[in-house]
Chains A and B, each alone.
Chain A
Amino acid sequence: MRPRNLEPLFWTLFGAGGMLAALVGPALVLILALPFPPGALEYATLRGAMTHPLVALGLGVTVGLWLFHAAHRILHTLYDLGVPHAQWLPRVCYGGAAAGALAALGVALAWVLQ
């Protein structure tokens, strides 16, 4: 039997992204926003951190899932606000998220492989 639609798969990605955003989001924003330790955003420092494959891959996956999380919620909120259901709307939302997620994974892989 074929599934009726892909909503459950997008919901799973939305849920994973939401979980990650809740658990690591606030701390990550805080780390990049605070000038602590001084010089944390220097080129050499950040490069040093990104050469660790876990950091690069973790960031890539996180960015990708956040994009799916955002796409799913934005789509449903647009419906909530009365935007009519049109075929192109979910395509733009999820297509954009997929493109962004692929880019993030690509960049993360480039970090790991270099």
Chain B
Amino acid sequence: MSDTRTIVLECLRYHPERDEAPYHQRFEVPFTPEMSVLEGLQYIKDHLDGSLTFRWSCRMAVCGNCGCMVNGEPVLSCQVFLRDYHPGCVRVEPLDHFPIQRDLAVDPSDFLDKLAQVAPYLIPDPVRTPEDGPHRQTPQQMQDYLDTSACINCLLCYAACPQYGLKADFLGPAALALAHRYNADSRDAGRARRMEVMNSDAGVWGCTLVGRCSEVCPKGVDPAGAINRNKPAAALDTLRRLLQSGRTCTS
């Protein structure tokens, strides 16, 4: 095909059973204008080196599996195109701040543990059963959480957050944004329970508003906003606790 050109993909390689430390390997990949970086990786796996390991599923920015660092930016590799990097080279690395499992695949279990801590599901009060029928809300009530509910757990925001890299127990952008998503839902009554984790150094106070999480999010979730909107509420919560403990001490 006439519009086929060649581009260099520089992939980070790491096979734990063989390599002491990661290194970069260059591949020359022929590409057409509609080829994404993910398709470049697939070309390598199919034609150049079958041992290259990376994750993907939907190829359409929905599943959140294919995130990686491309030239230092956390991106969905299915959403960025080789043509935009030509004639430069494309450096593909696993998402920053996560342990490298193998080549471009990281170990996300730390995020999954932390996600579970914020109870990312509706906690209705009183408890409802299917007999109660649908739990209605107005379009306006839905607007309150719709943005944050678009999260696909791609972890790009974690790779963009130095605080997550620096502090082992910081819950991080997406987990806190999802906590906010359920707090903001009119059908939910779990705010007090989530406040326990959110109002802590691992929660909203671990954030110094670097703000890059919101810049790299492919779904417009704005985790930085979701986290920082909870700081005044958490501060009030602390004040309330202080007043209460003062009252119980004097009584």
The distance in angstroms between the C-alpha atoms of A67 and B245, with both chains bound, is 28
Assess whether B245 is in contact with A76, with CB atoms less than 8 Å apart: no
Chain A residues with CB under 8 A of B242: 3
The proximity string for B residues 185-228 relative to A, scoring 1 for CB distances below 8 Å and 0 otherwise, is 00000000000000111000100100000000000000000000
Q: Pick from A8-16, A49-57, A58-66, A91-99 the stretch touching chain B.
A: A8-16
Assess whether B166 is in contact with A2, with CB atoms less than 8 Å apart: no
Tell which of A1, A2, A11, A80 touches B205, judged by Cβ atoms closer than 8 Å: A11
Assess whether A8 is in contact with B234, with CB atoms less than 8 Å apart: yes
B244 at the interface (CB under 8 A from A): yes
The distance in angstroms between the C-alpha atoms of A9 and B237, with both chains bound, is 11
The distance in angstroms between the C-alpha atoms of A26 and B200, with both chains bound, is 34
For chain A, the bracket of interface size reads 10 to 19
Docked complex: B111-166 residues within 8 A CB-CB of A: 162-163, 166
Assess whether A7 is in contact with B241, with CB atoms less than 8 Å apart: no
B238 at the interface (CB under 8 A from A): yes
The distance in angstroms between the C-alpha atoms of A6 and B235, with both chains bound, is 9
The distance in angstroms between the C-alpha atoms of A79 and B166, with both chains bound, is 9
Assess whether B162 is in contact with A3, with CB atoms less than 8 Å apart: no
The distance in angstroms between the C-alpha atoms of A76 and B167, with both chains bound, is 12
B102 at the interface (CB under 8 A from A): no
The distance in angstroms between the C-alpha atoms of A6 and B163, with both chains bound, is 20
Given the interface contacts A79-B166, A80-B162, A80-B166, does A4 sit within 8 Å of B245 by beta carbon? no
B231 at the interface (CB under 8 A from A): yes
CB distance from B85 to the nearest CB of A (A): 31
The proximity string for A residues 1-33 relative to B, scoring 1 for CB distances below 8 Å and 0 otherwise, is 111111111011000000000000000000000
Given the interface contacts A8-B234, A12-B235, does A2 sit within 8 Å of B208 by beta carbon? no
Assess whether A11 is in contact with B201, with CB atoms less than 8 Å apart: no
Interface of A is mostly: helix
Chain B residue nearest in CB terms to A79: B166
Assess whether B238 is in contact with A8, with CB atoms less than 8 Å apart: yes
Chain A residues with CB under 8 A of B200: 4-5
Chain B residues with CB under 8 A of A1: 241, 244-245
The distance in angstroms between the C-alpha atoms of A12 and B237, with both chains bound, is 12
Chain A residue nearest in CB terms to B234: A8
CB distance from A54 to the nearest CB of B (A): 27
Chain B residues with CB under 8 A of A76: 208
Given the interface contacts A1-B245, A80-B162, does A9 sit within 8 Å of B238 by beta carbon? yes
The distance in angstroms between the C-alpha atoms of A3 and B201, with both chains bound, is 12
Assess whether A11 is in contact with B231, with CB atoms less than 8 Å apart: yes
The distance in angstroms between the C-alpha atoms of A4 and B201, with both chains bound, is 9
Chain A residue nearest in CB terms to B235: A8
Chain A residues with CB under 8 A of B239: 8-9
13 A-B pairs in the complex with CB atoms less than 8 angstroms apart: A1-B244, A1-B245, A2-B245, A6-B238, A7-B205, A8-B199, A8-B235, A8-B238, A9-B235, A9-B238, A9-B239, A80-B163, A80-B208
Beyond A4-B201, A8-B235, A9-B235, 20 additional pairs, beta carbon < 8 A: A1-B241, A1-B244, A2-B241, A2-B245, A3-B199, A3-B238, A3-B245, A4-B199, A7-B201, A7-B205, A8-B199, A8-B231, A8-B234, A8-B239, A9-B239, A11-B205, A76-B208, A79-B166, A80-B162, A80-B166
